[in-house]
Structure 1
Amino acid sequence: MDRAPGVSVRLKLTLSYAGFVMLAGALLLAVVWVFLLRYVPDGPLMTRGPFVPNRSDLERAFLPKAAAMLVVLLAFGLAGGWVLAGRMLAPLSRITGATRLAATGSLSHRIRLPGRKDEFRDLADAFDGMLARLEAHVAEQRRFAANASHELRTPLAITQTLLEVARNDQHHDTGRLVDRLQVVNTRAIDLTEALLLLSRADQRSFAPEDLDLSLIAEEATETLLPLAEERGLTVETSGDVTRTVGSPALLLQLVTNLVHNAIVHNLPGQGGVWVTTRAHPTAAELTVENTGPRLSSHVVSTLVEPFQRGTERIRTGHAGVGLGLAIVKSIAKAHDGTLTLVPRPAGGLRVTVRLPAAPGT
């Protein structure tokens, strides 16, 4: 924003300091003047003893010295105020410099203002924290863009290869080509829809509603029950009424992704999935637990990153596009919730989502 030139804050503070010093000095001189007037008579005095001054004598002696004292106080106030204002505003200059540097795109620097806690240091610490979050967010977005480009390029490259093969080989099985193209195209569509859903969750573009998380868990479980039965898994849902506030569509997607992951990354024919909801005084908790291969803590810590798939987990045709848990994390964050992943000692994963409880519960 373009602004007209103005008086600096340092000069304003200097004039304020000088003004307060002048006011304090004037008040002090006024008190002295009133005190002296009580003991000095008005008019000439006729005495035979030592000379006794009257008010006229006091005025001639006091007022010039008082004026000189005010001039000295003014000079002292201006000089001292200028120095003090400079020292007080020095941290603000560092903050301003860091802000201008950040405006150019540099997010790696920090102010790190030394000294004890005060308003300027609170501002500097808050700015450093903002820079750290921005740097992490930009880095995450760059990784996401690179991964998304790679994932989207893969089905397009496969499609191009299949079409070139079909063009060069006129006797190629057309039906088989169409089937493979349909599979590749479906994957590309699923990936695009997942990216759109992830963007919607990050932008918080939804109207929050009061809802029961246990009913959403039951709906998601019933939808995925045929997939679990196909793989020979048992799915159990339990929990009381668990009220929270949020988007029914996004929270349904959250639970669906968790249950789908728990079914796909499991032990076919001998595994289980447990979906539990619990109501706490200040939080609504959803837990999805499943059997499966043992996972290391390092692998678990990477599962919420976009397009990250645990190399130690079972891979099938239902493995998805690598955005399931990333979408869960974004939806939970959009609802001011938390996502926690813990490997089970016997194998498998325990995922816990905590959301704020609905008001009045």
Structure 2
Amino acid sequence: MDRKPGLSVRLKLTLSYAGFLMLAGALLLLTVWVFLRSHLPDIAVMPGGVLNRATLMSTFTSAAGVVVVFLLVFGLLGGWILSGRMLAPLTRITDAARMATDGSLSHRILLDGRKDEFRELADAFDVMLARLEAHVAEQQRFAANASHELRTPLAISQALLEVARTDPAQMSGELVDRLHAVNARAIDLTEALLLLSQADQRAFSRERVDLSLLAEEATETLLPLAEKRGLTLETSGDVAPTHGSRALLLQLTTNLVHNAIVHNRPAPGTVWVTTAVDAKSVVLTVENTGEPLTPQLVSTLVEPFRRGTDRVRTDHAGAGLGLAIVRSITQAHDGTLTLTPRPGGGLRTTVQLPRWWLR
């Protein structure tokens, strides 16, 4: 943004300090002058002799002029030094901002001293830099992982098409089925990436949504998959009204239930879906039986394309974005996502969202 050049803040503070000092001094001298003019007799006996009032006032006026000049010089010099010391932290903050503009996010201001406005600004800027650095690193890691995940089905599709082109006789039903499956996986991954982007940008309209109804809809949709695996789906809880996108919150619930099914233990296993409500929030909890999980492994499950190498791998493992999408949707709705391992094995996932109030 182009701006016309102007006075620096340091110069403005210097002139303000000097001007205030001169004004205070001038008012003080004027007060003394008025006092002397009002109370000084026409003839005054001084140690040096007898002086009349006119001579004394003339002498005082000359001395006052010298004092005013001294105050001006002192104010400018002192104001320049003091403003420089006061603005030194701001200079460090400005330098750090310029470095961040040039692409460096690893530096920190680390302003020492006791807490004041400049320290609070510097600390807030350091926190912002740390979050930006982590966000950029996460986006770079996400882009690399997404490219890798998309490259695999595309490479397989290319290889299958090359086989079909070089030898049309090999274009069997099995080859078509494999090509269809690979293409479906690429489409699912692309749709997941678009959904994740939509949640991150908060590009959705909001309405009243009941999480208990979404939980019932998700379990009904995924019931055939659960029955095929010999699992039991149990849904219970209270009406849980919140405010947000019904489509995204349904996707969140479906992802959680699907994740609980495909990462369950061999039959018989169970998935519990419950909703609850308190004074300020609504809670959706999805639990499942399964293999024992460590807290270290659980903490990585919300990262994109992290399916958990120690968990049971199946043909329904998905694109590796299920819980990442859940986290993004939760954050877009100003909620919190908590993952904890169950003592007997399996995972407990809790989504807490703001409660909807009738206005």
Q: Same fold (TM over 0.5)?
A: yes
Distance 2:102 2:206 in 1: 37
Aligned residue number for residue 233 of structure 2: 235
Aligned residue number for residue 91 of structure 1: 89
User: Deviations 1:271-321 (Å, cap 9, x if unpaired)?
Assistant: 101111111212111110000111111211111011111112111111111
User: 1:264 touches 1:319 (CA, 8 Å); kept in 2?
Assistant: yes
Aligned residue number for residue 285 of structure 2: 287
Aligned residue number for residue 8 of structure 1: 8
2:124 to 107, 123, 126: 126
Aligned residue number for residue 222 of structure 1: 220
- TM-score, structure 2 normalization: 0.95
User: Deviations 1:184-215 (Å, cap 9, x if unpaired)?
Assistant: 11001000000000000000001122222211
Question: What stretches of structure 2 of length at least 5 have no aligned partner?
Answer: none
User: 1:338 touches 1:354 (CA, 8 Å); kept in 2?
Assistant: yes
SS of the aligned residue for 1:302 comes to coil
Q: Let me know the Cα RMSD of the aligned residues.
A: 1.8
User: 1:233 touches 1:273 (CA, 8 Å); kept in 2?
Assistant: yes
Q: Which amino acid aligns with 1:144?
A: F
User: 1:40 touches 1:54 (CA, 8 Å); kept in 2?
Assistant: no
Distance 1:77 1:354 in 2: 59
Q: Which amino acid aligns with 1:20?
A: F
User: 2:211 touches 2:239 (CA, 8 Å); kept in 1?
Assistant: yes
User: 1:40 touches 1:53 (CA, 8 Å); kept in 2?
Assistant: no
User: Deviations 1:34-84 (Å, cap 9, x if unpaired)?
Assistant: 33234224xx5699xx97655423321211111111111111101000000
Distance change (3 Å), C-alpha of 1:46 and 1:30: closer
Cα deviation, residue 356, structure 1: 1.5
Aligned residue number for residue 188 of structure 2: 190
What aligned pairs does 1:33-182 form with structure 2 within 5 A after superposition?
A: 33-41=33-41, 53-172=51-170, 174-182=172-180
Distance 1:163 1:131 in 2: 47
SS of the aligned residue for 1:143 comes to helix
User: 2:37 touches 2:57 (CA, 8 Å); kept in 1?
Assistant: no
Distance 2:33 2:280 in 1: 67
Aligned residue number for residue 24 of structure 1: 24
Distance 2:277 2:50 in 1: 91
Q: Which amino acid aligns with 1:6?
A: G
Distance 1:151 1:46 in 2: 101
Distance 2:55 2:278 in 1: 84
Question: What stretches of structure 1 of length at least 5 have no aligned partner?
Answer: none
Aligned residue number for residue 333 of structure 1: 331
SS of the aligned residue for 2:170 comes to coil
Distance 1:34 1:233 in 2: 99
SS of the aligned residue for 1:133 comes to helix
Q: Which amino acid aligns with 1:290?
A: N
Moved more, 343-352 or 307-316: 307-316
Distance change (3 Å), C-alpha of 1:238 and 1:46: closer
User: Deviations 1:3-24 (Å, cap 9, x if unpaired)?
Assistant: 2221111111000000010011
Aligned residue number for residue 354 of structure 1: 352
User: 1:329 touches 1:339 (CA, 8 Å); kept in 2?
Assistant: yes
What aligned pairs does 1:243-258 form with structure 2 within 5 A after superposition?
A: 243-258=241-256
Q: Which runs of 4+ in 1 moved over 4 A?
A: 44-47, 50-54
Moved more, 14-23 or 220-229: 220-229
Percent identical among aligned pairs is 71
Q: Which amino acid aligns with 2:257?
A: V
Cα deviation, residue 173, structure 1: 5.3
Aligned residue number for residue 201 of structure 2: 203
Moved more, 275-284 or 29-38: 29-38
Cα deviation, residue 169, structure 1: 3.6
Distance 1:89 1:166 in 2: 72
1:306 to 304, 324, 335: 304
Distance 1:192 1:166 in 2: 25
User: Deviations 1:230-288 (Å, cap 9, x if unpaired)?
Assistant: 11111111111212111111111001000000011112321101111111212111110
SS of the aligned residue for 1:171 comes to helix
Cα deviation, residue 170, structure 1: 4.0
